[in-house]
Structure 1
Amino acid sequence: MTDKVRLGMLSTGVPGLDILLGGGLTEFSFTLIAGAPGSGKTTLAHQIMFALANPQRRALFFTVLGEPPLKMLRYQQQFPFFDMDKVGPVVRYVNLADDLRAGHFDGVLERIMHEVEDFGPGLVFVDSFRSVVQTARGGNEGLTHLQHFIQELGSRMATWQATTFLIGEYTQADVEANPIITVADGMVALAQASDDNSMLRKIRIIKMRGQGHMTGAHTMRITDEGIRVYPRELPPLADDRLPGTQSDLQPRRIPTGVPGLDQLMLGGVPQGHALLVTGPTGIGKTVLGTRFLEAGVGLGEKGVAVFFEKGTARLRNAALARMAQEGSVAVVETRSLSLSVEELLDGILSAIDRTGATRVVIDSLSEFDLYLAPEARADLRQTVFRTLSALAKRGVTVLVTAGMDDSRPSLRTSPHELAFLADAVVAMRFAEVGGALRKFLMVVKVRGVDHSSELREYHITGSGIEVDERPVPYEGVLTGWPRS
């Protein structure tokens, strides 16, 4: 016989979790959901249960709480995944508290199997299994009884073709010396990480037999919709970056909405590129971002605007507010002070998929840094790299702004040495000329295509940004800009 047994896969119904698991849960598997109190174990179990339970695959949920399941259900039914119509015919709750107080594993196992035989479930949950374990008598005899109980429960559930979940308040140290982990087919560990007054929930797949799961700790949020997992992964390479494709062809040029800047770029931003616009506060970066979106709307394109401090109401920008109200531009805002890059990307990519947007403006990386969780803030370059890589895969053209001090005489084109991550860079700066503060810009780079290196003065008007047609003469240039 050379035919292999094919394992059935079950989708968990938890956004992002199937990616971590390597495609979903293995049918008829024995999975331990472990974590500290408040980490989201019971909510995760309920979300999986209601996603999978149906008349052909019914669910038994055993509780060993000292209080009736009614109190637990009162909170779980606040989530939209909770389907009250399934409770009874499809989902049955059984309280094992009285059986547990007898203090003998055989009685608990007998009750569980009686309910299984009576209801015929395809899903079985035991919450909290830690309470069952704590009834074990001390010494080698208690450990032997516990291990026998776990092995017997697992084998009987497999015989009944039930997918089983044990929920318990375990830490990594608890599990390493526990017989449960040797019997379990999979283990999902939940934790709450605290850093600089920020609290982030994390999820890890410690073990999952028969499939390639993702390792490492991944961000998890409990929202009004339920649990959402944000896998830490890089997207596949964009099509124009893959070998053997049309990478040698010149990409289409995208107008920025500022004709003078398009002229310096010799046609505009190459499609799918990321343009980094840097400069001090008040220099016009947000105005340029707005004109970029407005130019797209004028061509019938949709856009996405990502803001951290400035919402459309605070910008007092009539053009941007109008585009948002008309639905031409989707606005992604956040007020979280512990933002992960996965959550940011999820919001941006969801807006792109929802609207079909071809242009994205992120304003700005300087404010973005203030909202990041400490772990993401510690390596801002990796965070920016992952963000731009994911957007490049979608083929959208991105304009990213970044504030920076105008520190002459040295020339810096980006904060945190981020310029190398962008495909194109435009630097904007102030200068005192003739007793007045004036504005200048130059194109630092456009990857893969030619561009002008001229320094141009520009003006912010009611129509946007107007760039002078002639370069700044040599004798009038300020210290800190490269001389021709």
Structure 2
Amino acid sequence: MNNKVIIRRLPTGVPGLDDLLGGGLPEFSFNLLAGTPGSGKTTLAHQIMFSLARPDRRALFFTVLGEPPLKMLRYQQQFPFFDINKINHSIKFVNLAADLIGGNFDRVLARIDEEVQKFSPSLVFVDSFRSVVQSAKTMEAGAIGLQHFVQQLGMQMTSWQATTFLIGEYLAPEAESSAVFTVADGILWMSQLVHRDAMIRKIQVVKMRGQAQSPGVHTFRINDDGVEVFPRAMIKTNLPGDVVVTGDRRLSTGVTELDQMMGGGLPAGYSCLVVGPSGSGKTILATQFLAEGARIGEPGVVAAFEKSPNQLLSHQLNLMVERGEVGYINTRTLDLSIDEILHDLVTMITRMQAKRVVIDSLSGFELALASVFREDFREALYRMVAVLTGMGVTVMMTAELEDHYDFLRFSSYGNAFLADAIIMQRYVELAGEFKRVLSVVKVRGSAHSKAIRFFDIVGDDLQIGDATSDFQGILSNRPHNRQ
């Protein structure tokens, strides 16, 4: 016979976690939620339990904490996933503190098995082993008895017709030497990383038998709704159905003269970098790019990394946001991860079926990243651009550069190579006042104008004037080189 066993996958109810697990939790699996103290293991366990528990799928939660379950639940009740109506019906809490104080591990095992037999749960949670470890130090059985207890409990949990979770606080050396890690079907490792003034929570699927989990370490956050996981965006290439960027279709920037300078507009699916000094008009050009999309029925998304909504949203852009033509992501919160930022962008792009994305600006994007991620800013920027353009959207990014008169550069981060097109804005001094000039530095795979053109800002519009035929004469009036 060749009848393959089908293992049902249970949805965890934790945003983003099912994607990491490969579709959900295998039914009847024995899972270990491990990690450092305060990393969010108990909150994650409660969120999974309240999501899955129902009258025909009851959950039993054992706690070996010294405090009663009601005190623990006092804090868990603050999350919206908590349902008081499930307590003592679909969910039962059992406190093993009294059994543990007696110092007999066998008695604790017997009590757990007795409660399981009486309640017949489909889900079993045992939390947490920090108290057990501390108690073992004063017991006659000691560490050897504790190790035997954990191994026996793990074997018991694998034998029940239930999906089980063992919640433990481990350090890496302990994890490597623990036999329970061998018998577990699934292992979720949770941690919190403190780097300078930032604190980031991480989760990793170390092991998940029978299904392909998402590799690597991923970011998660505990917010007002509970745990939310931000799966690490993976760059996919050469897959069936992938968007192929040919450069044949062009998008208007909203400025006719600029479209002509770019050889007919910005190729769809390209990333465009608009660089220039402060006040040169980068955000205004980006707004016109979104406005042109709204005019022809192409929704857009703007992510603001340094300006507040009142500063960024001009009257024109505010109207587009109110009409639902442009989605707005306010990323003023610091200590974000690239996965969290990309998650918000991809979610809004998918929901709105957006075709245009504006990132304003890269300087603010770097600042918004938690300090631990700023060290890998180049890699983060590369991944973000690759994922967005891989979705087929056209990306316009702004970057502020100090205006130097003695040399040219196109990115303060050395990342100009990531852009398929570059538009440079500069100031020149002419007749005792500053004038704005613009040029198209690069459009990959396309002919473009090499001219340097004057431009000005009139209201909410960027207007390009004639070519500066005598531009060399203008530059001869520039200030001397500055140190």
> Once superposed, what is the RMSD of the aligned Cα atoms?
2.5
Q: TM-score under structure 1 normalisation?
A: 0.92
1:397 alignment partner AA: T
**Compared CA separation, residues 297 and 43, structure 1 to 2 (3 A):** same
**1:367 aligned onto 2:367:** no
What is the match of residue 409 of structure 1? 406
What is the match of residue 128 of structure 1? 128
Report the Cα distance in structure 1 between the residues aligned to 2:287 and 2:82, rounded to whole angstroms.
42
Secondary structure class of the residue paired with 2:475: coil
**1:156 aligned onto 2:141:** no
What is the match of residue 82 of structure 2? 82
Is the CA contact 1:18–1:24 (under 8 Å) kept in the aligned structure 2?
Answer: yes
Structure 1 stretch displaced more, 134-143 or 221-230 = 134-143
**Compared CA separation, residues 239 and 106, structure 1 to 2 (3 A):** closer
What is the match of residue 302 of structure 1? 299
Report the Cα distance in structure 1 between the residues aligned to 2:425 and 2:238, rounded to whole angstroms.
29
**Compared CA separation, residues 189 and 36, structure 1 to 2 (3 A):** same
Matching residue within 460, 475, 479 for 1:478? 475
What is the match of residue 73 of structure 1? 73
Secondary structure class of the residue paired with 1:78: coil
Q: What pairs up with 1:392-407 in 2 under 5 angstroms? A: 392-407=389-404
Is the CA contact 2:304–2:332 (under 8 Å) kept in the aligned structure 1?
Answer: no
Q: What pairs up with 1:287-366 in 2 under 5 angstroms? A: 287-315=284-312, 317-366=314-363
Distance apart, 1:157 and its partner CA? 2.8
Structure 1 stretch displaced more, 345-354 or 270-279 = 345-354
What is the match of residue 16 of structure 1? 16
Is the CA contact 1:409–1:479 (under 8 Å) kept in the aligned structure 2?
Answer: no
Is the CA contact 1:238–1:392 (under 8 Å) kept in the aligned structure 2?
Answer: no
Q: Deviations over 1:82-118 (max 9, x none)?
A: 2222222211111111111111122111111111111
Is the CA contact 2:307–2:332 (under 8 Å) kept in the aligned structure 1?
Answer: no
Report the Cα distance in structure 2 between the residues aligned to 1:367 and 1:87, rounded to whole angstroms.
46
Is the CA contact 1:64–1:132 (under 8 Å) kept in the aligned structure 2?
Answer: yes
**Compared CA separation, residues 440 and 236, structure 1 to 2 (3 A):** same
Is the CA contact 1:198–1:373 (under 8 Å) kept in the aligned structure 2?
Answer: yes
1:456 alignment partner AA: R
**Compared CA separation, residues 139 and 181, structure 1 to 2 (3 A):** farther
Q: What pairs up with 1:267-306 in 2 under 5 angstroms? A: 267-306=264-303
Q: What pairs up with 1:105-254 in 2 under 5 angstroms? A: 105-136=105-136, 142-237=142-237, 249-254=246-251
Report the Cα distance in structure 2 between the residues aligned to 1:452 and 1:259, rounded to whole angstroms.
13
Distance apart, 1:463 and its partner CA? 4.9
Report the Cα distance in structure 1 between the residues aligned to 2:24 and 2:385, rounded to whole angstroms.
28
Report the Cα distance in structure 1 between the residues aligned to 2:114 and 2:122, rounded to whole angstroms.
15
Distance apart, 1:480 and its partner CA? 12
1:61 alignment partner AA: F
Report the Cα distance in structure 2 between the residues aligned to 1:146 and 1:371, rounded to whole angstroms.
45
Distance apart, 1:32 and its partner CA? 1.7
Q: Deviations over 1:224-271 (max 9, x none)?
A: 1111112223232388996xx865x54321111111111101211111
Distance apart, 1:289 and its partner CA? 0.8
**Compared CA separation, residues 392 and 140, structure 1 to 2 (3 A):** farther
What is the match of residue 436 of structure 1? 433
What is the match of residue 422 of structure 2? 425
What is the match of residue 42 of structure 2? 42
What is the match of residue 464 of structure 2? 467
Is the CA contact 1:313–1:321 (under 8 Å) kept in the aligned structure 2?
Answer: no
Secondary structure class of the residue paired with 2:410: coil
**1:388 aligned onto 2:385:** yes
**Compared CA separation, residues 386 and 246, structure 1 to 2 (3 A):** closer
Secondary structure class of the residue paired with 1:75: helix
Is the CA contact 1:312–1:321 (under 8 Å) kept in the aligned structure 2?
Answer: no
Is the CA contact 2:336–2:368 (under 8 Å) kept in the aligned structure 1?
Answer: yes
Secondary structure class of the residue paired with 1:415: coil
2:8 alignment partner AA: G
**Compared CA separation, residues 21 and 316, structure 1 to 2 (3 A):** closer
Is the CA contact 1:338–1:373 (under 8 Å) kept in the aligned structure 2?
Answer: yes
Structure 1 stretch displaced more, 345-354 or 465-474 = 465-474
Secondary structure class of the residue paired with 1:124: strand
Structure 1 stretch displaced more, 381-390 or 275-284 = 381-390
**Compared CA separation, residues 134 and 209, structure 1 to 2 (3 A):** farther
Is the CA contact 2:126–2:167 (under 8 Å) kept in the aligned structure 1?
Answer: yes
Aligned length: 478
**Compared CA separation, residues 367 and 479, structure 1 to 2 (3 A):** farther
What is the match of residue 481 of structure 2? none
Secondary structure class of the residue paired with 2:92: strand
1:352 alignment partner AA: I
Q: What pairs up with 1:447-462 in 2 under 5 angstroms? A: 447-462=444-459
Is the CA contact 1:238–1:395 (under 8 Å) kept in the aligned structure 2?
Answer: no
What is the match of residue 255 of structure 2? 258
Distance apart, 1:141 and its partner CA? 5.8
Report the Cα distance in structure 2 between the residues aligned to 1:154 and 1:298, rounded to whole angstroms.
62
Distance apart, 1:407 and its partner CA? 1.9
Unaligned runs of 5+ in 2: 479-483
Structure 1 stretch displaced more, 123-132 or 211-220 = 211-220
Report the Cα distance in structure 2 between the residues aligned to 1:313 and 1:475, rounded to whole angstroms.
40
Distance apart, 1:45 and its partner CA? 0.4
